[in-house]
Structure 1
């Protein structure tokens, strides 16, 4: 912890599939599993697709969560078992609700030269985690803030509220700060917040964060101060929400409430259960991403604030 900001560094991990690309993961970590209901944050690029091969993630399952896809550059073809077939483009939000079960594929398109963006998940509360699968596409309008521009993906910021449905109090926004500018944002003091830096160092509450670092700010703060000390535009993702009061078990692509529930989801996916449906139109070599073996130790719940470290729960 530095001042009022806990600095969380990323770790590099391969994104699943035969053409695995490397992403930088800041959530979950041993130090912190959730920020509000935000439980997963992958940050990738800018990648030269001609060199790296881009993204090709075969059909794979999810339960108990919403996926939030957001690009800075490039294009990704999304197919899922709601019947949605969409192209994710910069500045356009694709939100998929996994609920009781969904499957989808993600492939960078032939029009994509440089791939750069974030993939985020939110955990669904008990009241919503068995909802039917669904898909929402939304293009948030740029919101000028005086020296900065915001795009509000979910929640409310600077008097602007996104129409995208969520199931717990959340905030998600892209912020671009002009060179040398400072921004003071009124935020909900009941929320905890995370600032994920994409490009150029950014100072948050007096603490400088490097690109790919995430700064955590605990509840109780009513105004966030962000400064771009450099001579080029800086970009961050602002994530916030009320501390998530339910224990969650996360493993691979599943979120549940117990080891037994996760094991059952895995068995159903491997058996081709109707719980997840069939992704139509995916043209890759592997038509279904197989689930890895369960760990030999029992999966334990993650808490916010975090409980004792449990590496076995990190699929």
Structure 2
């Protein structure tokens, strides 16, 4: 999914200097962003208060939207570099096309994982024949320097491993949870898991104390370590935890995101992740001149133009503001 914000800010984030080394309960509220003509997303990362959780650097939550008589998601071809995109649905379908020739329809609880490497472009659309509701999350992880120039590729995993406990079904989307590992490729120590809770569930999820964590609420009424987290909001938890208490007042859906604090500083702008402002400027130029990022075949429409680069110089800001 693209960052369609036409006033994209250039910023440096990452590094360990602003990692919260002990458990905290920091509630992050979303910023609402229009995605095309008919979809509005709630952006949790980057946030006014925090920019990364491990390698996770971008989190959008959208829906549930009634699109029975609407086109749904319609995101034209756009570029990416230096990151992985994770498409995760609770309802609906998303048709993915990219410049490597991959075409896949992603459905609920299936992993669409795009490793961009040095350059890729893709488009995402709700298919013409689709379900009534669209509900999901789009997430990015930053690729570490040693892997950020690898060949671009796309993975579609229709079956993912689960972690089960009374009142809890956990689907391991990326990385490892409680000894269970997703088939999706990862390039730094991290975890992404979908947690489905039944009404009245009172469980403790095992965590890695060296990871920092956050929980995105997708649906339902749930308390995370005693804090009520409403759908479309996210609770940052810091490091130093060995388990996470969850209590559901209704059927609820969460996404657990975590990882070792990302050691490198990165520059994020629009749909690019690099290490310098010059890298970002070159990527924008390459996209606008039709070089490097390839062509998305089969999409009926024009590619998405890049916004203008900001005129102010790049200022490192760290992981938090």
Q: Does 1:10 pair with 2:30?
A: yes
Deviations 1:177-197 (A, max 9, x none): 111111101111000001000
* Root mean square deviation, CA, Å: 1.5
| Alpha-carbon contact 2:161-2:182 (below 8 Å) kept | no
TM-score, normalised relative to structure 1: 0.91
Partner of 1:290: 305
Partner of 1:200: 220
Q: Does 1:190 pair with 2:210?
A: yes
| Secondary structure in 2 matching 1:83 | coil
Partner of 1:257: 275
| Secondary structure in 2 matching 1:248 | strand
Point out where structure 1 has 5 or more consecutive residues left out of the alignment.
310-315
Partner of 1:281: 298
| Secondary structure in 1 matching 2:24 | coil
Deviations 1:109-152 (A, max 9, x none): 12232110000000011011111101111121443221110100
Once residues 109 and 118 of structure 2 are traced to their aligned partners in structure 1, the CA distance between those partners, rounded to angstroms, is: 28
| Alpha-carbon contact 1:248-1:301 (below 8 Å) kept | no
Deviations 1:172-214 (A, max 9, x none): 0000111111110111100000100011232111211111110
| Alpha-carbon contact 1:151-1:175 (below 8 Å) kept | yes
| Alpha-carbon contact 1:33-1:302 (below 8 Å) kept | no
Partner of 2:254: 236
Once residues 114 and 98 of structure 1 are traced to their aligned partners in structure 2, the CA distance between those partners, rounded to angstroms, is: 29
Partner of 1:61: 79
Once residues 62 and 299 of structure 1 are traced to their aligned partners in structure 2, the CA distance between those partners, rounded to angstroms, is: 20
**Alignment partner for residue 44 of structure 2, among 26, 47, 51?**
26
Partner of 1:85: 103
Closer/same/farther in 2, CA of residues 302 and 81 from structure 1, 3 Å limit:
farther
Once residues 246 and 219 of structure 2 are traced to their aligned partners in structure 1, the CA distance between those partners, rounded to angstroms, is: 14
Partner of 1:174: 194
TM-score, normalised relative to structure 2: 0.89
How many Å apart are 1:301 and its aligned residue? 4.2
How many Å apart are 1:20 and its aligned residue? 4.9
**Alignment partner for residue 213 of structure 1, among 213, 233, 237?**
233
Which 4+ runs in 1 deviate beyond 6 A?
A: none
Once residues 77 and 162 of structure 1 are traced to their aligned partners in structure 2, the CA distance between those partners, rounded to angstroms, is: 22
Partner of 2:9: none
Greater RCO (Cα-Cα under 8 Å, separation 6 or more): 2
Matches within 5 A, 1:71-82: 71-82=89-100
**Alignment partner for residue 88 of structure 2, among 66, 70, 74?**
70
| Alpha-carbon contact 1:5-1:207 (below 8 Å) kept | yes
| Alpha-carbon contact 1:248-1:303 (below 8 Å) kept | no
Q: Does 1:137 pair with 2:156?
A: yes
Once residues 300 and 259 of structure 1 are traced to their aligned partners in structure 2, the CA distance between those partners, rounded to angstroms, is: 10
| Secondary structure in 2 matching 1:266 | helix
Q: Number of residue pairs matched? A: 298
| Alpha-carbon contact 1:78-1:105 (below 8 Å) kept | yes
| Secondary structure in 1 matching 2:265 | coil
| Alpha-carbon contact 1:246-1:303 (below 8 Å) kept | no
| Alpha-carbon contact 2:68-2:131 (below 8 Å) kept | no
